[in-house]
A and B are shown apart, each in its own frame.
Chain A
């Protein structure tokens, strides 16, 4: 085997050399001898070796000292520093423990001081026994008598300046009953004289009664907050016991129904008729009489702008005198009816009256479209009051207010639930942003995102401290807005689609031909240097 290799190696060498040396007109035998005895170049001078090494070294030095930093500086993506750990802490619920201490003030002018103190202790004890959800905590206090007159307006302040969620007025009566006032957060509890607790007994029927009433009143709110916590990524020990399936289902419906919180909502009231009549309606007066009072009571939470319109020759998306339940979603003829959202960046809630004789199967002529608005079908517009009242109910439920109890209590609950929701949502967004920045190292993070994150974290902190009040809601709203703005920063999205293939296509035509001689030069030089050393 080796022989044949030698032979085949020798013969082409002969042929090649003969071809080269044809002009010399030497014999082929001479050619072989030339090939075997190759002339060595004279040995290199050490200066020239040194010079060559210096040349190569200086080329590489320029590339490494000047080229690489310039390339690095010009192609680097700006990534502002984000407080990733803090963001993750918020997302995982470690930074804030949402607690809603509800102050409930007891006014017991008819009782002796020590009697009321005792009643407070026993009731608090009974409440603590009943409550197993630590985030939502009812705290009782005796209201100072001087504040009794202020309490009527519903916004009285407790001893430490915190808002009082509810005032219990203990009144002597003939039977035990509780009466919630309709327009102020005041619960009148009537008791019979024999129920006044003696200081010796550790429990009393009145205390148990008050505790149970309070628990029932705040059960819905508790469930709402518990549901919000359970759907967020809070640590498991903070999530209360599993909610009953039917409660969880109704709360899931509640979240899909209620519209995103905003400081301002646009309300659009529209009259749609399939013919040319009626072409006008008395909507201004009806809204003034039946809608404005409700909207005014909402003013601490949200503001509203109102516009109205009349649209003739409007055909609904479905026809027939009886509308099936599955047809209701197609009733709004989105392609033709001008129900575009109002200008101005705030969500629009649509309420529309359709003039017609249709009804929904199983009775009823009105329905609610989740996160969008409400529809009423009625044959004429002689009386707008029932329609506006239905719209009011629909508005309450679209805004996410709980379904029972008096209006002030519902609004207060709404404030707490909304704050919790916004807080959890902003925290979740922070977590997503942190994960995104880690997962996509090639996207740029402009300074505005870092600023947004800082704003969010600052307001989240403030919101967490003041949960349950208007200020907490405001802070949570600012935090949520800043978080969304930071997450949806336009320049970040643009950078994601900058594929590596493009970089290769741009770099390779230059770096390939330049890099090869440079690398080969170094390799050769190193080889020569090793050879020289071995030779020495």
Chain B
């Protein structure tokens, strides 16, 4: 607040004013007058927000049973110069109307797939990038709405036997593959597991159905998530990206993010002790955007060096001069940004279907940070001092501007329960190893977790080499283990380990494996790139943390080989056959007794025959000429 200067207000307001002026240009009034009025309005609005500073904001509760649909965008600046944007869309529909196929908020296409495949609970994730827990803190939603790199799908399918469940799972993956334009149909038996300790149903299932529910889990670490997955995702929303916070979603921005995750969860929600059940669909999109990168104009995206006049130098250094500059520490300097900068355009009003008791836009910044919102929006500040929410005017565009500001106070980062990373160790084409490093940052609490690995069948795990070291010492921390060995070409390895990490310690899990050699046709296109190994899932209660995926290089043949092999083998066989055959059939005589192979005689014979032919032909021509 202290460094707030009038010139800076004007500077940062201009971009907002442009937006506001653009909005009202349809009135065909002189633009200057319009601008002056808008400045006044904006300043008035700003004063109003400042006076509202002490007011408590409204906390967002994710499962409010009364409303049918609500949506919320939560923005959280991350260090350095990054922004986490979490979109949440949630709607409830009564189970009765779902079963009668009367679809209103629930998308018909997805609903029919779930009914056809007898799926009672569904979780689908599309993710890209790596969450940097060291500098960004705990994951959004505690990792509950996040999947491993690529596509991850798990569902509770109602079936009477395992075979029936497999059949329905196949139907489900194939149908979802068509709906989301993803290669989900490649989730076959080698990529499907049935987790035992890791996942628990989120929804409420009656005791009779839960005995028939089969949990199936599949991953596609190689799938590249892109715009064609976002478009069907948006079509499932009631407002379809035309109004409300979903209007900010744009494939160019979303897939430019440093980390992003899209999720769809469908689960039944029942009131305790009654049969009044609802089906809840939650769609979320989380992304970490680079503010500086987003601010670059789209038509000129190449980063350029800062002009000399704009460099911020530490003038107290004795070597500071016109051609030397020691950059000032910019940690206290908050960057200027607005919704239009980050997402390409401002928010197009509210979705009329959304529940009005939930504020559609929230931002996690200290209350001392200036946030200017456009007219018609009301600010609610939270008691915690680090969160504020905005309720919007229904039909107006909403813009939010955070000016450049020097502020040392930052919203506190939530510490994650566990830091996890996993990498390959070992060398060579034949064997290798995996090492997972799990660190418990807490100084007081130990963490009980389940570590789950899904390995492809061609990565043959040696279970006896599985070792856990705690702070460098061998110690038996593994409490329980579930292991289902791989069958070649039929199923992958499933390994689940329950263990405990004491406070403030690091556990290193290692195991060795052997690489199998695949058949010629089993290699994917671009086999030299390597094979993706699905991320490990670490479950702590209902929180899930995923490591990054791994890229496993396998011995790869030269793919132009088969024809060469045919030719070479044939030649060798033909040579040996000819040799033996001739040995058996030919008669051996002295050199001077043998028939001479007179090349010249043959050539002369052929020449004479040709001449005869030519003379006959010549005669024929002459005869023709005569006639």
Contacts and interface: CB of A to CB of B under 8 A. Distances in A.
B107 A284 contact: no
A313 interface: yes
A247 B213 CA distance: 58
A313 B112 contact: no
A312 B353 contact: yes
Interface string A110-145: 000000000000000000000000000000000000
Interface stretch (A87-95, A146-154, A337-345): A337-345
Contacts of A55: 584-585
Interface in B554-613: 563, 566-567, 569-571, 573-575, 577-578, 581-582, 584-585, 587, 589-590, 592-594, 596, 598, 600-601, 604, 608
Nearest to B106: A309
B604 A5 contact: yes
B114 to A, nearest CB: 10
Interface stretch (B1-9, B233-241, B417-425, B530-538): B233-241
A313 B242 contact: yes
Given A9-B600, A276-B353, A342 B112 contact: yes
A513 interface: yes
Given A307-B112, A344-B116, A513 B352 contact: no
Given A276-B352, A513-B571, A343 B592 contact: no
B101 A306 contact: yes
B581 A305 contact: no
Contact of B574 (A305, A344, A506, A514): A514
A40 B592 CA distance: 8
Given A9-B604, A52-B587, A518-B581, A308 B571 contact: no
Nearest to A48: B587
B102 interface: yes
B320 interface: no
Q: Is the interface of B mostly helix, strand, loop or mixed?
A: helix
B566 A506 contact: yes
B604 A338 contact: no
A5 B601 CA distance: 10
A25 interface: no
A340 B77 CA distance: 40
B584 A309 contact: no
B108 interface: yes
Contact of A39 (B567, B592, B598): B592
A276 B239 contact: yes
Given A514-B574, A521-B581, A309 B108 contact: yes
B51 interface: no
B605 to A, nearest CB: 10
B243 interface: yes
Contacts of A161: none
A309 B570 CA distance: 65
B581 A8 contact: no
B112 A283 contact: no
A338 B239 CA distance: 13
Given A5-B604, A5-B608, A513-B571, A39 B103 contact: no
Contact of A307 (B103, B175, B592): B103
Contact of A343 (B175, B584, B593): B175
Contact of A312 (B102, B239, B573, B590): B239
B551 interface: no
Given A5-B604, A306-B101, A513 B589 contact: no
A48 B567 CA distance: 36
B315 interface: no
Contacts of A276: 239, 243, 351-353
Interface string A477-521: 000000000000000000000000000011001101110011001
A509 B107 contact: no
A309 B235 CA distance: 13
B109 interface: yes
A280 interface: yes
Nearest to B111: A307
A279 interface: yes
B101 A310 contact: no
Contacts of B101: 305-308
A308 B578 contact: no
A517 B570 CA distance: 15
A517 B582 contact: yes
B600 A12 contact: yes
B577 A310 contact: no
Contacts of B587: 41, 44, 48, 52
Nearest to B589: A41
Interface centre among A41, A44, A342, A518 (most CB of B within 10 A): A41
Interface in A31-56: 38-41, 44, 48, 52, 55-56
A512 B574 contact: yes
A59 interface: yes
A41 B592 CA distance: 9
B103 A310 contact: yes
Given A312-B238, A517-B578, A509 B604 contact: no
A181 interface: no
B29 interface: no
Contacts of B567: 509
Interface in B72-104: 100-104
- Max chain B Cβ within 10 angstroms of own Cβ: one of A52, A309, A512: A309
Contact of B108 (A39, A338, A506): A338
A277 B238 CA distance: 12
B585 A521 contact: yes
A350 B217 CA distance: 35
Given A340-B109, A344-B116, A308 B102 contact: yes
A8 B353 CA distance: 106
B576 to A, nearest CB: 10
Contacts of A338: 107-109, 235
A276 to B, nearest CB: 4
Interface in A292-319: 305-313
Contacts of A44: 587
B100 A284 contact: yes
A307 B239 CA distance: 20
Contacts of B351: 276
Interface in B340-399: 351-353
B113 interface: yes
Contacts of B238: 279, 312
Contacts of A59: 581
Given A44-B587, A306-B101, A514 B108 contact: no
Contacts of A39: 590, 592-593
A305 B111 CA distance: 14
Given A5-B604, A280-B104, A510-B574, A312 B116 contact: no
A8 B239 contact: no
Contacts of B574: 509-510, 512-514
Contacts of B107: 338
A513 B575 contact: yes
22 contacts: A16-B600, A38-B593, A41-B594, A52-B584, A52-B585, A276-B243, A276-B351, A276-B353, A279-B353, A283-B102, A306-B101, A307-B112, A308-B101, A308-B102, A312-B239, A340-B179, A505-B563, A509-B570, A513-B574, A514-B573, A514-B578, A517-B578
Given A283-B102, A518-B581, 8 more contacts: A5-B608, A41-B593, A279-B238, A306-B101, A338-B109, A342-B112, A343-B116, A514-B578
Q: 7 closest Cβ contacts across the A-B interface?
A: A513-B574, A307-B101, A509-B570, A313-B242, A510-B570, A276-B352, A41-B593
Interface of A: 5, 8-9, 12-13, 16, 38-41, 44, 48, 52, 55-56, 59, 268, 276-277, 279-280, 283-284, 305-313, 336, 338, 340, 342-344, 505-506, 509-510, 512-514, 517-518, 521
Interface of B: 100-104, 107-109, 112-113, 116, 175, 179, 235, 238-240, 242-243, 351-353, 563, 566-567, 569-571, 573-575, 577-578, 581-582, 584-585, 587, 589-590, 592-594, 596, 598, 600-601, 604, 608
